[in-house]
Amino acid sequence: MSINWVMLDPRDGFTPLSGEQKLWTSPPRTSFSIQSMHQYPGKDPFSISSSSGRVYLTNRRIVYLPATATPTFQSFNGPLLNLHDTHVTTPWLGPNAWIAAVQPVPNGGIPSTHAAVELKLTFRDGGAYDFHTKFVAIRERLQQAVEVARESGQSSQALRADRNGATGMGGASVDLNSVHLDQLPAYEETAPGSAPIAAPASTLIPVEASSTSHNQNSVGAAAAEAAERRETARAPPAEPPPGYEEVQRQGVAERLERDLRSTQ
């Protein structure tokens, strides 16, 4: 974190560093204050404020430019990884504010007797939560890049940010300009070692097509059943009707009796 270290530009507000991208800009009536977190005996209190200005969020730092610069306060910039315990406060009356504990950088304009100072941005025209959401997302990406570098065997000494966009770690460095800031792809459920699981083919049939197919199948089954009944009605019976043999015997006996009477 440093005071009056930003290179100002009359058209764009400030000159970005190599590879730096402006990601968010606040409304013009955003106030700024930075002050000592604790005032112990022997420590000189420190305080700087501005009632109106703009805050810029980049992929490397936050920058504040007051609407009216003074000889003592012309700009502020703080590396994202030097901002801790960030949160939004919502008072009963008044605009929302964003607060952070800032870890100063060496020779940044903050007395060396202060290990940390409190930064407060008050968003009079709104935007506090939008700013905080974007800040957290970007800072998490940067922090992940640093943690990956640590796990790969690099030194775990204190981080230091240089003006070329590299965060050093005991002689090694992480290129902040190469950190991926785009949205991650949507999650797709996959089986281990296989392509994304596709839905069963039956579930991919449109509802209307499925209903039509079901109706057609029902009509076809009814027609087949009616045809089978007609064929069965036309075919001769495979077995004689009940009592057929008894009737045949009675008929034969009656014919024999008539024949015997005619011969007498």
pLDDT at 204: 38
What's the start-to-end Cα distance of the chain, in Å? Answer: 146
Q: What would the pLDDT profile of 69-113 be if each residue is shown by its tens digit?
A: 999 999 999 999 999 999 999 999 999 999 999 998 888 888 877
Q: What would the pLDDT profile of 53-74 be if each residue is shown by its tens digit?
A: 999 999 999 999 999 999 999 9
Tell me, what DSSP letter sits at residue 150? H
pLDDT at 125: 95
Mean pLDDT score of the chain, rounded to an integer?
75
Give me Rg for the CA atoms of the chain.
Answer: 44
Q: Which domains does the chain have, with CATH numbers?
A: 2-154 (2.30.29.30)
Task: Compute the Cα dihedral for 22, 24, 28, 31 and give only its sign.
Answer: negative
| Residue 155: pLDDT band with limits 50, 70, 90 | very low
pLDDT at 173: 55
Q: Classify the phi-psi angles of 243: left when phi > 0, otherwise alpha if psi is within -120 to 50, otherwise beta.
A: left
Residues 6+ apart with CB under 8 A from 176: 19, 59, 60, 142, 145, 161, 165, 166, 167
Task: Compute the Cα dihedral for 35, 81, 2, 53 and give only its sign.
Answer: negative
Q: What would the pLDDT profile of 209-240 be if each residue is shown by its tens digit?
A: 444 444 455 555 666 666 666 665 555 555 66
Residue 34 CB coordination number (10 Å): 24
Question: Can you give the pTM of this predicted structure?
Answer: 0.61
Mean pLDDT along residues 233-253: 62
Mean pLDDT along residues 158-174: 44
Q: How many residues does the chain have?
A: 264
Q: How far apart are CA 36 and CA 116, in angstroms?
A: 7
Q: How far apart are CA 70 and CA 189, in angstroms?
A: 57
Please state, in angstroms and as integers, the Cα–Cα distance from residue 130 to each residue in 24, 25, 76, 138, following that order. Answer: 9, 10, 20, 13
Q: Where are the beta strands (DSSP E) in the chain?
A: 2-3, 8-9, 13-14, 22-25, 30-36, 47-50, 53-58, 61-66, 76-79, 83-89, 97-102, 117-123, 160-161, 166-169, 172-175
* SS3 assignment, position 194: coil
Mean pLDDT along residues 168-192: 49
188, pLDDT greater than 50: no
Q: How far apart are CA 143 and CA 149, in angstroms?
A: 10
Of 144-148, 192-196, 229-233, the least confident? 192-196
